[in-house]
Amino acid sequence: MPARVVLGAQWGDEGKGKAIDQLAPNSQWAVRFQGGNNAGHTIVAGGTTLKMHLLPSGITARDCNLVLGCGMVVDPWVLDRELSEWAELTGESPEGKRLFISERAAVILPFHRLYDSADELVGTTGRGIGPAYRDRTERVGLRFVDIGLILGRDTEIAEISERMNAQLSTVGIEEKIEPEQLKSDLSWIHQRFSEAIRATGPMLDKALARGEQVLLEGAQGAMLDIDQGTYPFVTSSITCRANATHGAGIHPGHIDQCYGITKAYTTRVGNGPFPTELSLEDGPGKQMSVVGHEFGTTTGRPRRTGWLDAVALNESQRLNGYTGLVVTKLDVLGGLEELKICTSYNLDGDEIDHVPSSSEELARCTPVYESHPGFPALDEEEWIEMAEESRKGGGIDSLPSPIRSYLSRIEEITGVPVVSVGVGPDRLASVASAGGPFDVEMSEATF
Ligand code: GDP
Ligand code: IMO
Ligand code: MG
């Protein structure tokens, strides 16, 4: 069986967690391949809301094995906390049994968090992501496989703490990393996770050879990609399909399906240009924020909101070659008289159809919109009823006509079929295309 990929098609928080939760029951593996606990992936099922930062969202399917892949940066303390929360909720401790951490994944240490706290430009999540990737690129960072090896080497540990302290002082941070503390941290990580640390690339390769289905779970979104996003207002990893297999330690030929998750509008959290941004104080921008509960899952910061940016969406399609789009949070737009889609930008008097490479230029872009009729607001129960109705046959075709034409226009602009539409946070609040990849049986499961 091949591998499938789920990716954020915008600036993150598109609803990847919900999509993974829906696909996980038919997958034997769910793998995170980049990023760390800057991610916040929400799953709502059976009255319970789960917020995953490191654990793959496929954890909800008990038969699904979980991997934190080699492309990740992993904060062991956050992982420990998330595992405790999961154990409290379900009684299960999956580490070493169905949860495995790549030996090659980079370790986030307190130093990285401290260093990240000095960021003033990007508006990072402050979780140490950029500094941990920087250490990896400089080839001085520790990977999980290195920890056991370094524990007996006090001189090396002292040198590492010296380097960390020198770096902290360059950004005006007085706090020091003491070598004894660093050694005791490393020793705790070694003892806590040694059961789960594995060569996960070969594990996945063998699983694929046995015909098992692998689900690759993206974090962040295409516009936050270090190479292809709105640099420097991006995260520090490659968030796109090209890295999905590499960050899992398998080859790209395994991928056969790639789903791009996009909201029916746009949000962004943190700094950086956002051409279709609206005011959070009133009008449609306020509705998106209030009805959509647009607050960061990781940091709680208000998300900025705006109309659907199809220029950015097409850019992400160019990078990822989606085989299907999942359009989420359509319900949030209910009751607006007019919906807008940005189909090109105006940059200094010229109309352009791509995202400029320079964020300064992107900040000067004004959106060129087309207008679409709105549709009535429904409450959560009514949307779920509509979703249930759609499962009896018809799928997306059974939706009311203004919704269908909004979705058809997205398909026309991107050239990608819409395979599922989100009409509420709950796992059952989705309308899937009949016979498509998201046309799956979902229970109201409790955990
Ligand atoms: P992720 O990072 O891509 O997994 O997305 P987040 O979990 O950070 O943010 C998505 C938010 O929207 C979460 O609060 C979800 O529960 C919620 N959500 C997902 N799909 C829908 C939908 O179709 N409608 C509504 N109203 N909420 C949704
Ligand atoms: P999920 O997986 C939304 C943003 C931060 C900041 C920039 C860099 O839940 O979609 P970082 O801490 O990564 O160095 O911050 O990227 N950012 C996200 N925005 N969703 C995310 O993850 C994000 N992860 C990072 O707000 O602007
Ligand atoms: Mg999120």
Distance of alpha carbon 182 from the chain centroid: 30
Say how many Å lie between the CA of residue 260 and the centre of ligand 2. 17
Question: Is the beta carbon of 262 within 6 A of some atom in ligand 2?
Answer: no
Rounded CA-CA distance 364/73 in Å is 34
Rounded CA-CA distance 74/113 in Å is 12
- pLDDT of 164 over the 80 cut: yes
- pLDDT of 56 over the 90 cut: yes
Q: What is the per-residue DSSP string for 75-109? A: -HHHHHHHHHHHHHHHS---BTTTEEEETTSEEP-
**Residue with the larger pLDDT of the pair 257 and 394:** 257
What is the largest distance, in Å, between two alpha-carbon atoms of the chain?
Answer: 70
- pLDDT of 411 over the 90 cut: yes
- pLDDT of 248 over the 80 cut: yes
Give the pLDDT score at 442.
81
Position 22 confidence tier, pLDDT thresholds 50, 70, 90: very high
Rounded CA-CA distance 127/38 in Å is 6
Nearest to 79 by CA among 69, 89, 68: 68
Give the pLDDT score at 214.
98
- pLDDT of 1 over the 80 cut: no
Position 136 confidence tier, pLDDT thresholds 50, 70, 90: very high
Give the pLDDT score at 298.
84
Per the prediction, the chain carries an average pLDDT of: 97
Note the ligand closest to the C-alpha atom of 263.
1
% residues pLDDT > 90 (the chain): 96
Question: Is the beta carbon of 167 within 6 A of some atom in ligand 2?
Answer: no
Overall average pLDDT of the 55-71 stretch:
97
Among the listed residues 13, 135, 185, 426, the single catalytic one is 13
Rounded CA-CA distance 281/294 in Å is 13
Say how many Å lie between the CA of residue 19 and the centre of ligand 1. 9
Residue 395 half-sphere exposure toward CB, CA atoms < 13 A: 15
Overall average pLDDT of the 214-234 stretch:
98
Catalytic annotation present for 13: yes
- pLDDT of 446 over the 80 cut: no
Nearest ligand 2 atom to the CA of 271 is: 27
Say how many Å lie between the CA of residue 12 and the centre of ligand 2. 7
Q: For the CA atoms of 164, 165, 169, 175, what is the dihedral angle to 10 degrees? A: 120
Overall average pLDDT of the 179-185 stretch:
98
Rounded CA-CA distance 316/325 in Å is 11
Rounded CA-CA distance 365/352 in Å is 9
Give the pLDDT score at 140.
97
- Helix (H) and strand (E) counts for the chain? 14, 20
Position 167 confidence tier, pLDDT thresholds 50, 70, 90: very high
Catalytic annotation present for 372: no
Of 37, 41, 42, 235, the one to substitute when testing ligand 2's pocket (max ligand atoms within 8 A of C-beta) is: 235
- pLDDT of 24 over the 80 cut: yes
- Position of tokens 């400029």? 356
What are the beta bridge partners of residue 261? 8, 326
Nearest ligand 1 atom to the CA of 14 is: 3
Rounded CA-CA distance 20/7 in Å is 10
Is the model's pTM score more than 0.75? yes
Overall average pLDDT of the 149-174 stretch:
97
Give the pLDDT score at 172.
96
Give the pLDDT score at 299.
87
- pLDDT of 447 over the 80 cut: no
Least confident of 196-205, 313-322, 388-397: 388-397
139, burial (CB in 10 Å: exposed 0-12, middle 13-18, buried 19+): exposed
Of 20, 117, 220, 329, the one to substitute when testing ligand 2's pocket (max ligand atoms within 8 A of C-beta) is: 220
Note the ligand closest to the C-alpha atom of 224.
2
pLDDT tens across 321-336, in order?
999 999 999 999 999 9
Question: Is the beta carbon of 125 within 6 A of some atom in ligand 2?
Answer: yes
> Whats the size of the chain, residue-wise?
447
Contact 10, 222 (CB under 8 A): yes
Question: Is the beta carbon of 216 within 6 A of some atom in ligand 2?
Answer: no
- Residue closest via CA to ligand 1's atom 27 equals 425
| Cis peptide bond upstream of 232, omega within 30 | yes
Say how many Å lie between the CA of residue 23 and the centre of ligand 1. 16
pLDDT tens across 87-129, in order?
999 999 999 999 999 999 999 999 999 999 999 999 999 999 9
- Residue closest via CA to ligand 2's atom 20 equals 12
Note the ligand closest to the C-alpha atom of 301.
2
Q: Does domain 109-193 have CATH number 1.10.300.10?
A: yes
Among the listed residues 21, 41, 112, 225, the single catalytic one is 41
Q: Which two tokens stand for residue 231?
A: 């640099």
User: Three-state DSSP class for 8?
Assistant: strand
Give the pLDDT score at 444.
76
What are the beta bridge partners of residue 258? 5
Q: What is the per-residue DSSP string for 149-160? A: HHTT-HHHHHHH
Query: What CATH number matches the domain at 3-106+194-217, 3.40.640.10, 3.40.440.10, 3.40.50.720, 2.40.128.110?
Result: 3.40.440.10
Question: Which residues have C-beta within 8 Å of that of residue 179, sequence separation ≥ 6?
Answer: 154, 157, 158, 160, 161
Query: What CATH number matches the domain at 262-432, 3.90.170.10, 3.40.109.10, 3.40.50.920, 3.40.50.410?
Result: 3.90.170.10
Q: Where in the chain is the domain with CATH 3.90.170.10?
A: 262-432
Q: Which two tokens stand for residue 379?
A: 């409450």
- Residue closest via CA to ligand 2's atom 6 equals 124
Q: Where in the chain is the domain with CATH 1.10.300.10?
A: 109-193
Helices (H), 377-439: 380-391, 401-414
Amino acid at site 272: G
Give the pLDDT score at 297.
82
Say how many Å lie between the CA of residue 151 and the centre of ligand 2. 32
- Position of tokens 């928080």? 13
Give the pLDDT score at 209.
97
Overall average pLDDT of the 250-266 stretch:
98
% residues pLDDT > 70 (the chain): 100
Position 370 confidence tier, pLDDT thresholds 50, 70, 90: very high
Question: Is the beta carbon of 328 within 6 A of some atom in ligand 1?
Answer: yes
Overall average pLDDT of the 197-209 stretch:
98
Of 32, 297, 301, 327, the one to substitute when testing ligand 1's pocket (max ligand atoms within 8 A of C-beta) is: 297
- The answer to whether the Cα torsion of 194, 199, 205, 206 is positive or negative is negative
